[in-house]
Amino acid sequence: MAVFTVQEIIEATGGKLISGGMGSFAGASIDSRTINNGELFFALKGPKFDGHDFLPDVVSKGAGGAVVDKKTRFTIHDSRFTIIAVEDTLRALQDSAHFLRIRRDLPVIAVTGSNGKTTTKEMIYGILSSRYRVLKNEGNLNNHIGVPLSFMKIKPDDEAAVLEFGMSGPGEIRQLCEMMAPAYGVITNIGSAHIGMLGSLEAVRSAKLEILDGIQTAVLNADDDFLMQGVKGFKGRMVTFSINNDAHIRAENVTAEDTGTRFTLAIRDNARVEVHLHTHGVFNIYNALAASAVCYSLGMTAVEIKTALEEYRAFSSRFEVIKSGGVTLINDSYNANPQSMKEAIKGLGSFKGGGRLVAVLGDMNELGEFSGELHRTIGGEVTAAGLDVFVAVGKMMSLAAEEGQRQRNGRKILTPEIYKFNDAAGAGQGILDIIRHGDTVLVKGSRSMTMEKIVEKIRGRETEC
C-alpha cells in the first residue's frame, strides 16, 4: 500500500495540525463514497459540491484523516481523527503529490496527444510491468486533480510511473509537468480535439508541446508532419516511431485479420520481432509503436515488448470488437473527435469481406466554430471508405449525412444508405430495423451523446430476435 506520513503532508502543504496524531496514511481520496480505511481525505470544493459536507461519512468509514480548508466550518466528534488545515485543499493535493514525486528516484513517463493517450499508457504499463513494479493513473484520471490523486497511490517498492496527461487549454500540461517532473514525454499525435476551445491547430500543438519542458527524452510520431515541425527546437533526446517513414521504431508488413493485426516490429539497431496485436485499426498499431519506443528506451528487450503487446486486450468502449446478436459490433462509444472518428471509419473499412459495413456515428463536441465543417468532412470519409450504411445521430452529424448524400449523388453510387436520428434514444429504437445478420457495426460519438445506449440495444438484439 501507499504510505506517507502526517509530517510529510504538513511539510508539503505548509498546513497546520488541528487534531489527531503523527501517524501515516495508506493512500489518498477525494470521494467519501469509495474512501478506504486509513486513507487521507482531501476535502475539495467544486461548483456543485463541498467535500467538507461529507467529513462525517469519511470518519465513519475509517479514514485516517482529512485535509481541510482552514476557513471552512465543520464539526468532527472524534479527536483521534487527524485534521490538517490548509489555505487551499486542491493546491494541497497537488503539493503533496509533488512532494512525494521529488523524493522518489524513479522514471516518470508522461503521455499526451489528441488520440490514443489512454491505450498507449496502458500498453506502456503492460510492457514495463513484465519486469518492474509500475504505477499508472486509472482510466482517464488525467487532469489537475486526477494526476496528483493517482500519484498519491505510489508504493514504496514502485520502480516507475506512467501517467496520462490531458488538457483542454494552454498551461495545463505545463502545470502537470511541473508537478510530476517526467523524464519521458510521449506525444501520440496532434489533431483537432479541443480546437473549439483553443481556436486553431497551432494552438492545440503549442498546448501539447508544453510536455517538452524539462523532459530528457521525447517519444514522437514521425508520421505526424505537423507534430514534427513543432519539435524542431527540442534539445533533448528524440525517439521516433512510424509506419510510413524512417524512425527508431517501425511497423512493417502490416496485415489485418479477424483477430487483430500482425506486423513486424523493427528497431533501428536491427532487432526485429513478429507481433500479433489483438486489437484492430492502424491507430492501435501507432499506440503500440509509441509504447514500444518508450519501453525500448528504458531497456526492455524486443522479445519482452512483443510478449506484452500480444497479451494486451482492448478496453471496454474503445474499438472493442464484440460478436453479439448475429453481428460484429465495434463498440467505440467512449468518446470522439474528428481524427479518432476518421481512424475508426478506416478501421471499420478493414473488416471488408463479410456482411455490410455500418457506421453509427454521433455528434463530436468541443469543436466550436469549426463544428459544421469538421462534421461535413466525416460524411466524406464515410463515402470514401466505401461503407454500406451510415446512421447519423445528432444535429451536427446530420450535416455529415447531408455531405455523404451529396458525394454519393456526385459519384452516382447507391451507397452508403443514409439514416438520420436526433439522438441516441431514437437511434436505439430504429437501429434493429436497419442492421442485418452478418453486418459489422461501428458505434462512436462524444460522451455526451450516450452512444452506449445504441450499443446496449444491439447487444440485446439476439434475445429480441
Instruction: List every span in the chain annotated with CATH 3.40.1390.10.
Output: 4-89
- pLDDT number for residue 78: 78
Amino acid at 151: F
Is residue 315 very low, low, confident or very high in pLDDT (cuts 50, 70, 90)? confident
pLDDT digits (tens, 9 = 90+) for 396-425: 999 999 999 999 999 888 889 999 999 999
Question: CA–CA separation, 236 vs 377, rounded Å?
Answer: 37
Instruction: List every span in the chain annotated with CATH 3.90.190.20.
Output: 320-464
pLDDT digits (tens, 9 = 90+) for 434-456: 999 999 999 999 999 999 999 99
Is residue 433 very low, low, confident or very high in pLDDT (cuts 50, 70, 90)? very high
CATH class of the domain defined by 320-464: alpha beta
Homologous superfamily of the 4-89 domain (CATH): MurE/MurF, N-terminal domain (3.40.1390.10)
Instruction: List every span in the chain annotated with CATH 3.40.1190.10.
Output: 104-311
Question: CA–CA separation, 403 vs 377, rounded Å?
Answer: 8
Count of helix runs (H) and strand runs (E) in the chain? 17, 24
Helices (H), 181-268: 195-198, 201-208, 225-230
- pLDDT number for residue 465: 47
Cβ partners under 8 Å of residue 379, min gap 6: 390, 399, 400, 401, 402, 403, 404, 405, 406, 407
Question: CA–CA separation, 434 vs 437, rounded Å?
Answer: 10
- pLDDT number for residue 269: 77
CATH class of the domain defined by 104-311: alpha beta
Percent of the chain with pLDDT over 90: 86
